[in-house]
Amino acid sequence: MSDQAAQARPKTVTACVLTIGDEILSGRTRDANLAYIATHLNRIGIQVREARVIPDVEEVIVATLNEVRARYDYVFTTGGIGPTHDDITADAVAKAFGVGIGYHPEALKILGEHYERTGAEFNTSRKRMARLPDGASMIDNPVSKAPGFQIGNVFVMAGVPMVMQVMMDSLTDRLEGGAQMQSRTVTGQIGEGTIAEKLGELQARHPDVGIGSYPYYVGKTFGTSIVMRGVDSSELDIVAGEVMALMREFGVEPVAGGAA
Amino acid sequence: MSDQAAQARPKTVTACVLTIGDEILSGRTRDANLAYIATHLNRIGIQVREARVIPDVEEVIVATLNEVRARYDYVFTTGGIGPTHDDITADAVAKAFGVGIGYHPEALKILGEHYERTGAEFNTSRKRMARLPDGASMIDNPVSKAPGFQIGNVFVMAGVPMVMQVMMDSLTDRLEGGAQMQSRTVTGQIGEGTIAEKLGELQARHPDVGIGSYPYYVGKTFGTSIVMRGVDSSELDIVAGEVMALMREFGVEPVAGGAA
């Protein structure tokens, strides 16, 4: 590739998702946020390269956050920004950035008005949700009002999926996407071991396309979905066509698109 | 606590779950394995302290595995042990341990008999699934035959949930559990901000019990589940009783057990 071509090609933008919460690690709650965040970021050209689930323990949050915010372009956290004693994410993020933490005037105003409307007491615990690290900017929460926040390349969001989703959706303007990953899926009722060798050869001929093979079992039938991901949609179409031809070679009629 | 008491108390045994697979990071597939593994390990006294999702990239698998197998008592991986080019977990694990990899005679026999029965060709790709790091011991797979394996404190399992679950269930005898975490849940239709301050005081009085507060929204109703976790069931009962009394103090009738 010439230097010019290298310049023309959009850069790769990476992200890490940090899920903060004992309830995910204990198995009590099944995480529903990673798939949403990854899908959303994919659409705007940001690739999730790693995800971690960590407990509500300050030194773990601080160390992990400092490691991943240096390694990836963006970090998205969920969980730990409510009013109770186990909600320590904001304090841990402030500590990781080496900044202070205090009441954010706008957050305090929004929450104050919210509790005046609902009639619930705006007590010290609820005021905790207006505490943001110095220099952080709010992420609006139209659902339950308590804001998330952004500091540097770190976006701190709620753990409740309904709230996390509106926060995530509101961030598009603040994020700079890069090369947009496209994908094609070809599915057939064929064992992945049958086409594995030729699929490996196809992968070797198209190193810029990531070819994944995912077997599925539904009742007594089984099959394989081949997923191709890459930034060049013409090349993806060519590879998808080759995968369809490959399945037909073994007497199986492929279906373009997902199954299982 | 006296030295004697410290000796009598069962030790804490920790684990890390490593999910290997591009399809989880792209958002295509929603992970179903962490909650199952965590719940299963909890029952035998092993606490999952961290979980990571990483891509099918050899150097990432090697570096991550070497980091977490040094830090935790056990590591459980899922994904990447099938017959296709993107199934690189066994090779990466061998590399992480600095050992060779080759056909495991028993695995080869089991797979050979399986494909003779099904009539599918036992080709080079399918034989890949019988390659285990030197010194590894098999984890049986009664569902689709291709084995997982154990090497040192690392347990390598399939990504397909149905297969992973039978592998996990078969491991109980190989794992040494420690202090068994118990839990109690108290739920009430009350905002967590209402009880947050007193809940924090309760937490301060019972540092050995982890008290988590989880708000939920179901349609127009909302409420909070308080989850208490610890190894001393008498203390858990006392704390659960205090949480119920606390909710009643605010005019809300609590329910013992989970909701949302």
- Each residue's pLDDT tens digit, B142-179: 988 999 999 999 999 999 999 999 999 999 899 999 88
**Is pLDDT above 90 for B9?**
no
| Selected residue of A20, A24, A26 to mutate for chain B interface (largest B Cβ count, 10 A) | A26
- The per-residue pLDDT for B86 is 94
Question: Please, are residues A101 and A94 in contact by the beta-carbon 8 Å criterion?
Answer: yes
DSSP string across A160-173:
SHHHHHHHHHHTGG
Residues B36-63: what's their mean pLDDT?
Answer: 96
- The per-residue pLDDT for B259 is 42
Decide: helix, strand or coil at residue A153.
coil
- The per-residue pLDDT for A216 is 85
Given CB atoms, is B205 within the 8 Å cutoff of chain A?
no
Distances (CA, A) of B61 to B58, B92, B100, B213: 5, 6, 16, 34
Number of CB atoms found within 10 A of residue B100's CB: 10
Name residue, tokens 């770190």. Answer: A154
Residue in chain A nearest B32 by alpha carbon: A30
Q: What is the pLDDT of residues A218-228, one digit of tens each?
A: 777 889 999 99
Distance between CA atoms of residues B48 and A22, nearest Å: 9
Query: What's chain B's average pLDDT?
Result: 93
- The per-residue pLDDT for B196 is 96
Distance between CA atoms of residues B235 and B119, nearest Å: 59
| Selected residue of B25, B40, B218, B246 to mutate for chain A interface (largest A Cβ count, 10 A) | B25
Query: What's chain A's average pLDDT?
Result: 93
Question: Please, are residues B39 and A33 in contact by the beta-carbon 8 Å criterion?
Answer: no
Distance between CA atoms of residues A193 and B124, nearest Å: 9
Decide: helix, strand or coil at residue A198.
helix
- The per-residue pLDDT for A260 is 35
CB-CB neighbors (< 8 A) of B214 in chain A:
23, 29
Residues A29-48: what's their mean pLDDT?
Answer: 94
Distances (CA, A) of A126 to A11, A112, A120, A148: 42, 9, 10, 14
Given CB atoms, is A88 within the 8 Å cutoff of chain B?
no
Domain chopping of chain A, boundaries: 3-174, 182-256
Q: What percent of chain B has pLDDT above 70?
A: 95
**Is pLDDT above 50 for B260?**
no
**Is pLDDT above 70 for A2?**
no
- The per-residue pLDDT for A219 is 77
Residues 36-65 of A with CB under 8 A from B: 36-40, 42, 47-56, 60
Lowest mean pLDDT among A58-72, A105-119, A161-175, B214-228: B214-228
- Residues found in chain A: 260
CATH tag, B3-174: 3.40.980.10
> For B215, which of A125, A160, A204 is closest by C-beta distance?
A160
- CATH 3.40.640.10 for domain A182-256, yes or no, is no
Residues 6+ apart with CB under 8 A from B200: A84, A85, A125
| Selected residue of B16, B18, B84 to mutate for chain A interface (largest A Cβ count, 10 A) | B84
- The per-residue pLDDT for A58 is 97
Q: Residue A132: beta bridge partners?
A: A102
Inter-chain contact A51–B26, Cβ cutoff 8 Å? no
Decide: helix, strand or coil at residue B87.
coil
- Residues found in chain B: 260
Quick one: tokens of B209? 């019990």
Distance between CA atoms of residues A130 and A127, nearest Å: 5
Q: What is the pLDDT of residues B173-195, one digit of tens each?
A: 999 998 888 999 999 999 999 99
Question: Please, are residues B220 and B193 in contact by the beta-carbon 8 Å criterion?
Answer: no
Confidence of residue B198 (pLDDT cuts 50, 70, 90): very high
Distance between CA atoms of residues A144 and A109, nearest Å: 14
Residues 6+ apart with CB under 8 A from A17: A33, A34, A37, A38, A48, A50, A51, A52, A75, A76, A77, A78
- The per-residue pLDDT for B220 is 78
- The per-residue pLDDT for B222 is 85
Confidence of residue B38 (pLDDT cuts 50, 70, 90): very high
**Is pLDDT above 50 for A28?**
yes
The predicted complex's ipTM stands at: 0.91
